[in-house]
Amino acid sequence: MSRMHLPRFVPTCRSLLAVVALSTAMPSAAARAGLILGNLSGNDLNAFSLSDTSRKAVSFTMGTQSYVLDDAVLRLNYGTGSPIVELRDDVGGSSPGNTVLATFTTPGANGGGIQDYTFTPTSAFTLAANTKYWLYVYGSGVGFGQAAFWYRSSANDAPAGPGATFDIYSDTNNGGSSWNTNSSTFNKFELHGTPVAVPEPSSLWFAAVAVGGAARLRRRRP
């Protein structure tokens, strides 16, 4: 390539790199918020009493798709105190780990009563594909344990969804010192998230061509 053609090639290469960067960074049209896993439908029935010592957690394993976590919705009844929702790690057993991976904002009681309460992450978190997590729920505050409940449906449906597989529920009445594993009460919740977009093969090809062209240009400069 002669030097007289170099000025025209440089902006062309830069433009191509800019287009590739934009195309690989933009999510695909299919990437939108939606259900990952849950069982909110059905009439309300028996509930689990929540407090600082009375806690419950549900484990699930992500599928082959990673999701940016948008929110967790729980069917609760509370008036005083605050429900605490966390995402915890898995340590390979039938109870949640001690590592808190994500925390959530606590919604107001909105007058109390049985409602779907939406908890949003305090910071961005990605649920990694093929990874097991625990949704961990308890309560804090004066009098919270006397009027705070996590409901199940009359059908006691197990959680299901396109993004993850339900494992088990476990509960504790001593703040997590020991756990009653494999509870048969499937308390109601939903997890929502946005699929993490994967660059299209064509975008990857353009990226390879652009990078290769830029490398050749650098080698040919005097």
Contacts of 2 (CB under 8 A, 6+ apart): none
State pTM to two decimals.
Answer: 0.76
pLDDT at position 2 over 60 = no
CA distances from 111 to 17, 59, 153, 203, 220 (A): 54, 30, 22, 51, 72
Distance of CA 57 to the CA centre of its chain: 15
Pair of tokens at residue 88: 């915890």
pLDDT at position 67 over 90 = yes
**Least confident stretch, 26-40, 130-144, 166-180, 189-203:** 26-40
Tens digit of each residue's pLDDT (9 = 90 or more) over 175-195: 999 999 999 999 999 999 999
CA distances from 203 to 15, 17, 69, 207, 209 (A): 14, 11, 26, 6, 10
Tens digit of each residue's pLDDT (9 = 90 or more) over 85-118: 999 999 999 999 999 999 999 888 777 789 999 9
Q: How far is 20 from 116, CA to CA, in rounded Å?
A: 42
Pair of tokens at residue 163: 């993004």
Tens digit of each residue's pLDDT (9 = 90 or more) over 15-47: 444 444 444 444 443 456 799 999 999 999 989
| Residue-level pLDDT at 214 | 53
